[in-house]
Amino acid sequence: IETAQDALRAARRARQPALEALGLFRLSEAQFRSGLGEAALHNAQRSAALFETLGDTVWQGRALWAQAHAHDRLGQGAQREQAAKQALALAQAAGDQLGIGAALNILYREHHDIGQRIKGLKQSYDAFRAAGYVERFSGPLGNLGLTYSALGRFAQARRLAVQSRQADQQQGNRHSLVAFAVQLAM
């Protein structure tokens, strides 16, 4: 958070609105990942609004994704879904595979319709692969694993857990692996 705050201050000193919008986005992401939902929501909303005025729909969509995560942290499911759907629409219109993968993952990871959840998470994984964004592969894989585990399809759940773990190991991401293992054990 401190590094993101420093970057935002530097962007403001440079008086470059695109850098400020990106700084707000990065600060929001750091905040929602640290459990600071209110602050994350505020900064994501400011980022999305600034990117909209700049006409940058790719980053506007990504800021809406951060907004969806902040709503999720705050337990605001309807608002999370609305922001994720807006992020998805912008990402699809721009052909932003990274944005599509991110929006689909948060939109479908807890979807009440299991069939839609599986389909959406597979599409999320495919979008991240199309974007070449290995770091994010483990998210939808882990969520698929949790879904299959809840359905009692443990062989598939284990296979996805291994794939998720391998993706995390390739990126040196230990936090995601630990969180997934704890959730899978429940």
The per-residue pLDDT for 175 is 55
Q: pTM (2 decimals)?
A: 0.87
Contact 117, 147 (CB under 8 A): yes
The per-residue pLDDT for 10 is 96
Phi, psi at 36, each rounded to 5°:
-100, 75
Of the candidate ranges 5-19, 30-44, 135-149, the one whose mean pLDDT is the lowest: 135-149
Q: If pLDDT is split at 50, 70 and 90, which confidence band does 178 have?
A: very low
Contact 25, 41 (CB under 8 A): no
Q: If pLDDT is split at 50, 70 and 90, which confidence band does 182 have?
A: very low
Amino acid at site 177? L
The per-residue pLDDT for 138 is 81
- As a whole number of Å, the end-to-end CA separation of the chain is 30
Assess whether pLDDT exceeds 60 at residue 84: yes
Q: At what angle do helices 97-108 and 77-94 cross, to 10 degrees?
A: 160
pLDDT digits (tens, 9 = 90+) for 112-142: 999 999 999 999 999 999 998 877 878 898 8
Between residues 146 and 85, which one has the greater pLDDT?
Answer: 85
pLDDT digits (tens, 9 = 90+) for 60-80: 999 999 999 999 999 999 999
What is the average pLDDT across 93-116?
A: 96
| C-alpha–C-alpha distance, residues 34 and 12, integer Å | 23
The per-residue pLDDT for 157 is 84
The per-residue pLDDT for 73 is 94
Contact 93, 99 (CB under 8 A): no
The three-state DSSP-derived secondary structure of 27-39 is HHHHHHHCCCHHH
Q: Which two tokens stand for residue 179?
A: 């969180």
Amino acid at site 127? A
